[in-house]
Amino acid sequence: MTDETPPHPHPHPHPHPHPHPSPVRVLLAEDQGMMRGALALLLGMEDDIEVVAQVAAGDEIVGAALAHRPDVALLDIELPGLSGLDAAAQLRERVPGCRVLILTTFGRPGYLRRAMEAGAAGFLVKDGPVEELAGAVRRVLGGETVVDPALAAAALSAGPSPLTGRECDVLRASADGATVADVAAALHLSESTVRNYLSAAIGKTATRNRTEALREARRQGWL
């Protein structure tokens, strides 16, 4: 007679199999303090979402993402230092595990196209209900692409930007009353080259001068 205990294969390998999954970690980039606070408060009321970082400038986004390792980054487009679209492209390189959701006041078709090119997983306008935003956070984390339907339709009908990268550079540099000489010096181009780029941009935007061309390019979301 032996007192060997019969083999018992792994009685309870996982006695508590994670009844509460970890909340979705969210980074919030919004330069308006009141809007940022409201979004953080509303998202924080969701049981499965935690706002782990808040920044007010675009050039703080990547550093905050590296420090806090969010699952989803909610980025405004118009930010000081660096636009949300440029930050989205940097996040794709530096923090590839972070999904990007662009949240903007400006539902411009060109912005949507540029957001998708930068690797964003979603694009929503700010006037939607918070439930929709929380749902979008969960959906992009699950691998979906979430886009405001009206904006998606407008972007498809608008087509791609007709402006080249250099034409965009010259238009941006010509803002705030800069002269052709100022633009040429800033971009290390000759004045005749700057005039050629401005002329092309004016023609492509079907406007009468560079001020109108700049305004139209911004309205379309090409800049």
| Segment 200-223, tens digit of pLDDT | 999 888 888 989 999 888 888 788
Residue type for position 158: A
State CA 178 to chain mean position distance: 29
Strands (E), 138-196: 146-147
Please report the DSSP string for 12-57 in residue order: -S-SS--SSPPPEEEEEE-S-HHHHHHHHHHHHTSTTEEEEEEESS
SS3 98: coil
Q: pLDDT tens digits, the chain, 223 residues: what are they?
A: 545 545 544 444 444 444 447 899 999 999 999 999 999 999 999 999 999 999 999 999 999 999 999 999 999 998 999 999 999 999 999 999 999 999 888 777 778 888 888 889 998 888 777 788 899 999 999 999 998 877 777 666 666 778 888 999 999 899 888 999 999 999 999 999 999 999 999 988 888 898 999 988 888 878 8
Give the global pTM: 0.65
Torsions phi, psi for 50 (to 5 deg)? -130, 120
Q: What is the tens place of the pLDDT at every residue in 73-109?
A: 999 998 999 999 999 999 999 999 999 999 888 777 7
Dihedral angle sign, alpha carbons of residues 144, 147, 148, 149: negative
